[in-house]
Amino acid sequence: MLEWHDQDDNELLRRAKDGEAEAFGELYERHVNAVYRFLYARLDNRLDAEDLSEEVFLRAWNSLNNYHERGIPFLAFLLIIARNVLIDHYRRNGREPKQVPIDDLQLRDKNPDPGEVTSLNVKHQELRQAIELLRDDYQEVLVLRFINDLSPTETAKVMKRSTGAVRVLQHRAIAALRKTLEEHYDQRIR
């Protein structure tokens, strides 16, 4: 039996381009967390992040033949698609936060720990409230650099800017975040 986890991304991509859905499934498992984090940091509820993560990969599957490595890692390719999916989502639904009851969030979860769930939701809300006050490009650079742990060069590829521009933008975004945290959450920053 073929062990997918032994294959590197390039081999999986080659197989996926030849139509092997299972190879693409392995790529999904490797990269979905990063895509999910990117989306959930910019969305108000988990279910949207889950649905949109799957949509990102479906779009990636449909445009797989347009992906030639050309110095762009596959994750950067996925995050470029995720940006577009997010923009489409905002266009369809606006940016008004949709509060989802905690119970609803756990419908698909078999063993939810209520204490942990509440703590995570509070943290998520804190993060959302702090970064949604920032400009879009500030939000994006912060999420890519410090939530997705992309390098400045990889971030530049996703944002279609130069590495130097990303470095400058990143420092401005951090300063803006710092200001927001001081104004709204001073007791929580340290």
Partner 1 sequence: MTREFDEAFHVCLELIREGRETLESVVARYPEYAEELRAQLEAVTWLFAHKTALEPRPGFVAASRRRLVARIKEGPQPAPLTWKDRLLQAFEPQKVAPIAFVAVLMVFLFLGGTIVTLARNSLPGDPLYSVKRNLEQIALATSIDKSRDAKHRLQFVEARLTEIKQLIEKGRSEKLQETVVYTRV
Q: Which residues of 37-57 are buried (b: 16+ CB within 10 A; e: fewer)?
A: bbbbbbbbbbebbbebbebbb
Chosen residue from 9, 44, 126, 137 binding partner 1 by CB under 8 A: 126
Question: Among 9, 59, 121, 165, which residue interacts with partner 1 (rule: CB under 8 A)?
Answer: 121
127 near partner 1 (CB under 8 A): yes
- Establish if 175 lies at the interface with partner 1 (CB under 8 A): yes
- What is the 3-class SS of 8-36, one letter each residue? CHHHHHHHHHCCCHHHHHHHHHHHHHHHH
**CA-derived radius of gyration, the chain:** 18
DSSP 110: S
Site for partner 1 (CB under 8 A): which residue of 61, 102, 133, 137?
61
161 lines the binding site for partner 1 (CB under 8 A): no
State yes or no: residue 138 binds partner 1 (CB under 8 A): no
Query: Which of residues 2, 11, 22, 93 is near partner 1 by CB under 8 A?
Result: 22
Of 91 and 105, which has the nearer Cβ to partner 1? 105
As a whole number of angstroms, the distance between CA 67 and CA 10 comes to: 11
Work out which of 50, 132, 133, 161 binds partner 1, going by CB under 8 A.
Answer: 50
Q: Cβ closer to partner 1: 21 or 87?
A: 21
Helix (H, G, I), strand (E, B) or coil at 171: helix
